[in-house]
Every structure is written in C-alpha cells, then in structure tokens.
Amino acid sequence: MWAINLRIFGIVLGTLALYTLIANKIPQVQSEVPRALTLAANVTPEQLVTAGDELYHGAGGCTACHGLGTRAPNLLTDEKGQGPVGARCGKREPGKDCKAYLYESLTSPRAYVVAGYEPIMPEMGRSLSPQQIWALVAFLESNGGTVDVSASDIPAASAAPAANSPGAAGAATAPGIAGGSTDPMTIIRSAGCPACHKISGEGGAIGPDLTRVGSRLPANLIRESILTPDAKVAKGFEKFKGIMPKTFGNQLTGAQLEALEQFLAAHK
C-alpha cells in the first residue's frame, strides 16, 4: 500500500513539475507603456531630443508606421525629395511653423493628412502626456531642422492646463483611461477606438467593424485582441498590423477590461 501511495505521489509531483516547466517556457506578454516623463523648468533642447528619441523608437510606437514608406510618411529620412521631417515641417500648412505643425500632427493628426496616405494615426495626446508630446516634437525638429521647443512650451506635470491650451491634450483629471470609468462606450471613446473602428454607426473604417464583433469572436479572443492586437489580425486588415496600441493591458483596470470584453461579446 505504501509503495503504491509513494508511486502515486511521485507521479503527481512529476506532473506538476512538468507543467511548471512548460509554463515557464511560454513567453510572457506584457504591454509596453510610455515611461512617465518629468522635465525640469530648465530642461535643455538636448534633453528634450533625447527623451523624444527614446519615445519615438520605443513605447511611443511611432516606428510601427513611420519609416516603412508605405503606411505613413518617412520622418527621419527623406520623403519624396523633401528631406527629413525637420526640414519640411514648416512648409506643410500655411501660417504654421514647424513646431505648431508637429504638435498638431501628434494631437490632431486628422487636421492635415499628407497626400497619398490614409488618416490612420491615432491622437497621441490620448496615450502620451503633454511633456512626452513636446519631447517628440523636439526630437522630430532635430531631424533636419532647428529645435525651438523650450521649457515655456511644456506645462508642469502637476498643473492642469486650460481647456484651450496646447498642454490640454493628454491631460487627465483621473488616472487611467476614462478616469477609471467602467462604462464601455466611455472607455471606447476615451481610448480613441472610433478613430479606427466603427461601432453602431460611430467611428472609422481602418480597423474591423465592432458592431457585431461578438458574432465573430468569443469573449476570450476579444480580450486577446485588446491586449495583444498583433497576435491575430483580421483578414483584410493585414496592412494595418502594428497600428493598434499595445498599451491597453497596463492602461485599463481589470474592471474596465472585463466590462469592455463583455460589452463587445454581446454585440452579435
């Protein structure tokens, strides 16, 4: 009897060890969120450019589209004989200098869309702070142009900018997307989903229509699409792979994610 019990115990331990080993071999997926940026009142152009460079090539997600020459204009290299973005940004819109144009391009990208490209860029002020936005502006100016972003352009991290000031974009009165609200449509609008997705007649057509997404995907795959959007790309939207932010896993609370998943799963 003892021999049988010991054998069973050994089998159980061996099975647990095997599954633990397998679990540890599976790559762990984690959303990358732009690191908080705090700039001193005497910040230098060089410091801004360095911070913007890190954002551009990292968690800002800019390289998912820019630099490919197909989805969005090249920014750091020549674009159709006009040079890098710092050399041409002041010539895009009449009455706007380079700094104003780049700020608008990041916070209101549909205000001016470069000919030959689709309006697929999300409003970066929804995921980046005003300080991060201005750091990106400085970095982009440095590519072929002169950096004229200064500390006076950048609101203090703790200050609440006026509603009509440039710093208002991206400012939040409460932490997280939609201030932590669990109302699905509030989350959807605050996260900027309608910029690409249509739901119940509202939104764009860059990404799949979400009006009846529950009839196509079960709840667990809807959750996966929110957290790891590039894992499985809907047929017909392959060319837009990489555009959807991969930061929602850290930006949404557990309650928000659950509310969003159930809301979309019910749309059949």
Q: Exposed/middle/buried for 14, CB within 10 Å: 0-12, 13-18, 19+?
A: exposed
- Tokens coding 38: 């705090």
End-to-end distance of the chain based on CA atoms, in angstroms?
57
Where do the domains of the chain lie? 45-168, 177-265
Which overall architecture, per CATH, does domain 45-168 show? Orthogonal Bundle (1.10)
Q: How many CB atoms lie within 10 A of CB 27?
A: 5
Q: Which CATH class is domain 177-265?
A: mainly alpha
- pTM of the full structure: 0.62
Alpha-carbon distance 187 to 248, whole Å? 11
Report CA Rg, the chain. 23
Residue 233 has pLDDT above 80, yes or no: yes
Task: Give the bridge partners for 202, in sequence order.
Answer: 199
Alpha-carbon distance 3 to 241, whole Å? 57
Q: For the segment 53-64, what is each residue's pLDDT rounded down to a tens digit?
A: 998 988 777 887
Residue 34 has pLDDT above 80, yes or no: no
Q: For the segment 95-113, what is each residue's pLDDT rounded down to a tens digit?
A: 999 999 999 999 998 899 9
Pairing of strands 198-199, 202-203: antiparallel
Q: Give the torsion sign (CA, 107, 61, 179, 248).
A: positive
Q: For the segment 120-149, what is each residue's pLDDT rounded down to a tens digit?
A: 787 888 778 889 999 999 999 999 999 999
